[in-house]
């Protein structure tokens, strides 16, 4: 065997074990008995220590120094393995183990604190998690300066992008979003849905829509969880959704969103399975797929016209009489506290708030004790009303309890990428609206599969978007898409 073959055989086993660890995470959110949390934390930290030991195995370093790549695919595999190795060897095994145990435990502590609206109960765990993340970042940091630690963490989610680039992008996005929100909020409020929406029917409908959006149920499954998510890669890619008897949109659009993530994983070239190329290339690109499925396709006026008929067939009277009014109901802007329930216009403002706060936490300019005040002050400044309770404020998101610092900005990055991809996709599929009016997004999905999904980790994120769209990522397409859509919907 050549050094390349030996390295790939070893890496393949590491990838397989990584999938096993991921499935434990899926189980924790869907099936695990509540009393198992402490034991699961130990299991997760043992898995994590084992994976860390494999990633830093000295043989990997030796193989990397000897391996030769034949062709672009092998070169990309080596590039990704080298990157992972270079990062992993900088983190001591005890630190990797502490992070895994603390974040697995932190999640349970956060869930209980959120249920009781008790910030103080979460702060000690959050303090430990942040200290560990800062320690990890210090091991990895490649530069000096106020954002060096944060940039080091960001690389795990969005290789090739710095916080300076993200800050510039957010600054360019914010004024347009704020002005559009003000104009929509001043327009007459649309009607809302009414009625009771049977939850079994909702799940049946969400499976139907998941399949219409290209989700292969022979290689996936749909379960329920508090926070919908997708996990896995290759031939086992699972999603979760949630139901609310008074609001079928919650289930439908959570499903379409997670199908976007899952279809990306399912769409990757099968030859890359269980290798570093066999997973979505970054969180930002991942989110671009989920958001374009959910918003540019699923919340488009032609598609909601079709959906209106489907909902009436299934549930009878839904309190809305016309497809036009239904389109506005799907695309309503409301006052609200919760990021995951926010509309396309306000969503990114929620992300910007978290981005600035977590950068300050990791940079050391904001103390954990002052986080709640900082959140509430910033929220009121951005949204114009006060946070009423911690579960609607600083305790609403799971991310920080998992130690995910540097993750939030990838949501907005994904929206920006989706805006860019939408322009190119519509150019390639000129009759898309006619298909969407029949509930058929298949030509758009084929374009996304061809230009984004199949490549897995072959190209770096920005290169991938640039190849697909013919231009470097920019906020302008997202802003003009939102402006055009909401101006027409609300007659602004």
Q: Which of 98, 158 has the CB closer to Zn ion?
A: 158
Q: Which of 77, 240 has the CB closer to Zn ion?
A: 240
Report yes or no: 266 and 401 within 8 Å, Cβ to Cβ: no
Locate tokens 């309190």: which residue?
A: 319
Q: Write down the least CB distance from residue 408 to Zn ion, Å.
A: 12
Strand, coil or helix: 230: strand
Report yes or no: 3 and 50 within 8 Å, Cβ to Cβ: no
With CB atoms as reference, the residue minimizing the distance to Zn ion is: 290
Half-sphere exposure of residue 250: CA atoms within 13 angstroms, side-chain side: 18
- Using CA atoms, how far residue 259 sits from 55, 131, 305, 475, in Å, is 30, 35, 21, 25
Q: Which of 105, 291 has the CB closer to Zn ion?
A: 291
> Which residues neighbour 479 within 8 Å (Cβ) at sequence distance 6 or greater?
173, 176, 177, 419
Q: Which of 283, 489 has the CB closer to Zn ion?
A: 283
Q: Write down the least CB distance from residue 287 to Zn ion, Å.
A: 5
Rounded Cα distance, 273 and 475, in Å: 33
Question: Where does this chain bind Zn ion (CB under 5 A)?
Answer: 290
Rounded Cα distance, 233 and 244, in Å: 28
Which residue is catalytic, options 19, 29, 258, 265? Answer: 258
Tokens (6 digits) for 134: 């800062």
Rounded Cα distance, 357 and 366, in Å: 8
Q: Write down the least CB distance from residue 261 to Zn ion, Å.
A: 6
Q: Write down the least CB distance from residue 238 to Zn ion, Å.
A: 14
Q: Which of 379, 411 has the CB closer to Zn ion?
A: 411
Q: Which of 67, 448 has the CB closer to Zn ion?
A: 448
Report yes or no: 44 and 88 within 8 Å, Cβ to Cβ: no
DSSP 231-290: EEETTEEEEEE---TT-HHHHHHHHHHHHHHHHHHHHS-GGGTTSGGGS-S-HHHHHHHH
Report yes or no: 241 and 278 within 8 Å, Cβ to Cβ: no
43 catalytic, yes or no?
no
Tokens (6 digits) for 143: 């530069």
DSSP 455: G
Q: Write down the least CB distance from residue 298 to Zn ion, Å.
A: 13
Q: Write down the least CB distance from residue 227 to Zn ion, Å.
A: 10
Rounded Cα distance, 2 and 211, in Å: 42
DSSP 296: I
Q: Write down the least CB distance from residue 104 to Zn ion, Å.
A: 21
Q: Which of 47, 297 has the CB closer to Zn ion?
A: 297
Rounded Cα distance, 291 and 98, in Å: 34
Q: Which of 290, 422 has the CB closer to Zn ion?
A: 290
Q: Which of 282, 290 has the CB closer to Zn ion?
A: 290
Q: Write down the least CB distance from residue 229 to Zn ion, Å.
A: 8
* Maximal C-alpha separation, the chain: 70
Report yes or no: 67 and 38 within 8 Å, Cβ to Cβ: no
Rounded Cα distance, 376 and 120, in Å: 15
Q: Strand pairing of 230-233 and 236-241?
A: antiparallel
Beta bridge partners of 84: none
Q: Write down the least CB distance from residue 380 to Zn ion, Å.
A: 27
Q: Which residues are catalytic?
A: 258
């Amino acid at each position: 065997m050549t050094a390349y073959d030996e390295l790939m055989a070893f890496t393949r086993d590491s990838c397989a074990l990584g999938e096993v660890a991921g499935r434990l995470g899926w189980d924790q959110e869907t099936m695990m008995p509540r009393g198992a949390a402490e034991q699961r934390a130990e299991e997760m930290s043992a898995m994590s220590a084992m994976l860390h030991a494999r990633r830093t195995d000295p043989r990997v370093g030796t193989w990397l120094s000897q391996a030769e790549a034949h062709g672009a695919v092998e070169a990309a595999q080596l590039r990704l393995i080298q990157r992972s190795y270079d990062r992993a060897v900088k983190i001591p095994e005890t630190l990797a183990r502490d992070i895994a145990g603390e974040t697995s435990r932190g999640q349970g502590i956060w869930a209980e604190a959120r249920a009781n609206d008790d910030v103080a109960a979460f702060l000690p765990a959050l303090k430990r998690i942040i200290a560990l993340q800062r320690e990890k970042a210090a091991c990895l940091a490649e530069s000096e300066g106020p954002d060096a630690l944060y940039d080091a963490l960001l690389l795990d989610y969005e290789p090739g992008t710095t916080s300076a680039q993200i800050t510039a992008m957010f600054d360019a996005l914010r004024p347009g979003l704020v002005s559009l929100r003000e104009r929509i909020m001043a327009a007459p409020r649309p009607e809302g849905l009414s009625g009771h929406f049977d939850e079994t029917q909702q799940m049946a409908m969400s499976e139907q829509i998941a399949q219409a959006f290209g989700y292969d149920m022979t290689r996936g499954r749909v379960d329920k969880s508090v926070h919908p998510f997708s996990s896995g890669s290759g031939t086992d890619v699972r999603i979760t959704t949630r139901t609310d008897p008074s609001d079928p949109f919650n289930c439908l659009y959570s499903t379409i969103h997670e199908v976007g993530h899952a279809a990306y994983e399912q769409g990757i070239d099968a030859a890359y399975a269980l290798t570093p190329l066999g997973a979505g290339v970054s969180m930002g690109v991942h989110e671009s797929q989920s958001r374009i499925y959910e918003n540019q396709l699923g919340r488009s006026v032609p598609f909601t016209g079709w959906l209106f008929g489907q909902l009436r067939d299934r549930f009878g009277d839904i309190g809305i009489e016309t497809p036009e009014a239904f389109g506005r109901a799907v695309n309503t802007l409301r006052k609200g506290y919760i990021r995951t329930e926010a509309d396309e216009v306000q969503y990114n403002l929620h992300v910007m708030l978290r981005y600035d706060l977590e950068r300050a936490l990791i940079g050391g300019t904001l103390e954990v004790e002052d986080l709640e005040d900082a959140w509430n002050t910033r929220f009121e400044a951005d949204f114009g009303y006060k946070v009423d309770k911690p579960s609607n404020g600083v305790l609403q998101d799971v991310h920080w309890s998992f130690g995910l610092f540097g993750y939030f900005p990838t949501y907005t990055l994904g929206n920006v990428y989706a805006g860019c991809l939408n322009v190119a996709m519509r150019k390639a599929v000129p009759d898309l609206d006619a298909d969407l009016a029949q509930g058929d997004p298949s030509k758009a999905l084929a374009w996304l599969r061809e230009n984004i999904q199949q490549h897995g980790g072959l190209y770096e994120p920005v290169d991938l978007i640039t190849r697909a769209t013919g231009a470097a990522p920019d906020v302008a397409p997202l802003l003009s898409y939102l402006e055009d859509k909401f101006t027409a919907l609300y007659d602004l």
